């Protein structure tokens, strides 16, 4: 491997020094058992700290506060993980999904309104999935009926991450019930404070209530908040899903490779109560080596995807599928090595997402990642059809 350019080494030194001075200490213990209000306050403060340093949105264009190269982003995420910095869980949809959609398909006015607001702490959620549609996004039943320069929205959304804290929502609704299902959908930016919006948190197996239901009853959405032409929301949604399946994975892959794998090695090197060391066992060492190889491949795959100006039609699905299932294998192995004692770790810090420390809870939480942005089955279908050119059954509506 060739040595890093001097400028990249200087950047790493800069980030490393910043992390030593600014990454909050003891944040894991402080966020374990924290209330929702404490979680929101901590996440917003940490976001402001990263923003003020220029580290919050490195993947955004330079004119909007980003502009880092892929190599610089990799260094940044490696150092944040190495210093056990908390991850931006609350603003995740805002800085990735919402921003990517606005930059790709939003009007100049929509970008000027929302991108600076996101940097000021505006929180977004995503209203795609529905109880009767699941991952079949095109089967959504939520309707948006036009009334002059306004749309009246009725329906229900499910699995909206962080919706209880959100200011705005990326919303898909059917505007033409008679069109083929992928051609009758429009894309909206919905103010969550609008009359008729009700959010209900869903308690999960880990004890958290990160996912939510959103009920929409006569919600008025201005025409100015539609993204793209009417009935062409399916095309706009691909920008959101492309970010969810691919662009977001660069940081996640580096955190898994640097922080997650390091914790796994430390776990395997820690003596058990009987004095034996898991790493001394060949089966453990072999599995650890296999996971390291897979993680190295994931990191390279993510960096190549983000750096590619013209990615392949299924590249984002390949990255998303690879990451989500590798995360499950990694946390499963951690739970296995941790043994029975890990079963009693029933709380984790709210600001950590999957990399919390309690391996069993992290393993349970890892299953979330094979669902959003399209399940693993959907990703395999996309890869088969778009990348490999495999035949498929004719669809009744396209």
- Kindly state whether residues 374 and 320 are assigned to the same domain: yes
| 192 and 270 share one domain | no
Specify whether 256 is located in the same domain as 290.
Answer: yes
Q: What is the pLDDT of residues 298-333, one digit of tens each?
A: 999 988 888 887 888 889 889 999 999 999 999 999
Q: 393 in a domain, yes or no? A: no
Whether 45 sits among the annotated catalytic residues: the reply is no
Q: Residue 120 is encoded by which pair of tokens?
A: 């000021």
Q: Residue 201: beta bridge partners?
A: 212
Q: Is residue 37 part of a domain?
A: yes
Q: In this predicted model, which residue has the larger pLDDT, 115 or 346?
A: 115
pLDDT at 398: 44
- Which of 204-208, 222-226, 377-381 has the least mean pLDDT? 204-208
CA distance 295 to 233: 35
Residues 22 and 151 in one domain: no
We report the CATH number of the domain holding residue 165 as: 2.40.110.10
Same domain, 225 and 268: no
Which of 172-186, 267-281, 334-348 is predicted with the least confidence, judged by mean pLDDT?
334-348
Token pair 């008679």: residue: 178
Q: What is the three-class DSSP state of 398?
A: coil
The pLDDT value recorded for residue 393 is: 61
CA distances from 331 to 205, 242, 288, 334, 342 (A): 16, 25, 12, 5, 12
Question: For the domain that residue 270 is a member of, what is the CATH number?
Answer: 1.20.140.10
Residue 173 main-chain phi, psi, to 5 deg: -145, 155
* Together in a domain, 262 and 369: yes
Cα 144 to Cα 159: distance, rounded to the nearest angstrom: 20
For residue 209, the model assigns a pLDDT of 85
Q: Are residues 286 and 323 in the same domain?
A: yes
Token pair 């603003």 in the structure block, residue = 91
Catalytic site residue from 232, 244, 355, 368: 244
Express as a percent the part of the chain with pLDDT over 70.
96
Are 268 and 221 within one domain?
A: no
Query: Of residues 180 and 187, which shows the higher confidence score?
Result: 187
Residues 169-188, mean pLDDT to the nearest whole number: 95
Residue 95 neighbours by CB under 8 Å, 6+ apart: 56, 57, 60, 88, 118
Q: Report the C-alpha dihedral over residues 286, 291, 369, 349, rounded to 10 degrees.
A: 90
Whether residues 205 and 291 share a domain: the answer is: no
Distance CA 359, CA 348 (A): 10
Cβ of 397: how many Cβ atoms within 10 Å? Answer: 11
Q: Could you list the residue range(s) of the whole structural domain that residue 318 is in?
A: 248-387
- Domain co-membership, 268 together with 368: yes
Alpha helices by DSSP H, the chain: 6-22, 27-31, 36-53, 70-82, 92, 99-105, 108-119, 233-242, 249-255, 261-269, 282-307, 315-338, 359-366, 376-382
200 and 252 together in one domain: no
Distance (Å, whole) CA 244 – CA 149: 31
Q: For residue 397, what pLDDT is reported?
A: 46
For residue 84, being part of any structural domain is answered with: yes
**pLDDT at res. 375:** 86
Task: Give how many domains the chain has, as a whole number.
Answer: 3
**pLDDT for residue 354 is more than 80:** no
Range in 12-16, 151-155, 272-276, 277-281 with the lowest mean pLDDT = 272-276
């Amino acid at each position: 491997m060739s040595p890093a350019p001097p400028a990249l080494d200087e950047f790493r030194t800069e980030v490393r020094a910043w992390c030593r001075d600014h990454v909050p200490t003891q944040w894991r213990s402080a966020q374990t058992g924290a209330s929702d209000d404490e979680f929101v306050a901590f996440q917003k403060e940490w976001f402001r700290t990263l923003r003020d340093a220029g580290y919050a949105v490195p993947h955004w264009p330079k004119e909007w506060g980003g502009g880092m190269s892929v190599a610089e982003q990799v260094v940044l995420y490696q150092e944040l993980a190495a210093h056990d910095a908390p991850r931006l869980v609350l603003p995740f949809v805002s800085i990735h999904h919402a921003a990517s959609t606005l930059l790709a398909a939003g009007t100049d006015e929509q970008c000027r309104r929302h991108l600076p607001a996101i940097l000021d702490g505006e929180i977004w959620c995503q209203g795609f999935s529905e109880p009767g549609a699941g991952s079949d996004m095109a089967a959504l039943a939520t309707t948006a009926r036009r009334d002059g320069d306004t749309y009246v929205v009725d329906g229900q959304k499910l699995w909206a991450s962080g919706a209880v804290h959100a200011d705005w929502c990326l919303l898909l609704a059917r505007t033409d019930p008679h069109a083929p299902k992928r051609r009758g959908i429009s894309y909206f930016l919905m103010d969550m404070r609008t009359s008729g919006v009700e959010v209900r948190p869903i308690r999960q197996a880990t004890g958290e209530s990160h996912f939510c239901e959103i009920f929409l009853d006569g919600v008025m959405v201005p025409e100015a908040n539609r993204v793209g032409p009417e009935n062409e929301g399916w095309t706009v949604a691909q920008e959101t899903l492309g970010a969810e399946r691919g662009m977001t994975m660069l940081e996640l892959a580096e955190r898994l490779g640097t922080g997650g794998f390091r914790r796994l090695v430390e776990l395997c090197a820690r003596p058990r109560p009987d004095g034996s060391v898991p790493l001394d066992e060949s089966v453990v060492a072999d599995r650890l080596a296999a996971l390291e190889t897979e993680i190295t491949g994931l990191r390279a795959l993510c960096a190549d995807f983000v750096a590619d100006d013209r990615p392949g039609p299924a590249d984002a699905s390949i990255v998303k599928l690879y990451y989500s299932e590798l995360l499950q294998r990694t946390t499963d192995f951690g739970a296995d090595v941790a043994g029975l004692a890990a079963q009693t770790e029933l709380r984790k810090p709210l600001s950590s997402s999957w990399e919390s420390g309690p391996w069993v809870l992290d393993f349970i939480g890892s299953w979330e990642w094979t669902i959003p942005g399209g399940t693993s089955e959907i990703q395999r279908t996309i890869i088969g059809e778009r990348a490999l050119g495999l035949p498929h059954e004719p669809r009744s509506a396209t």
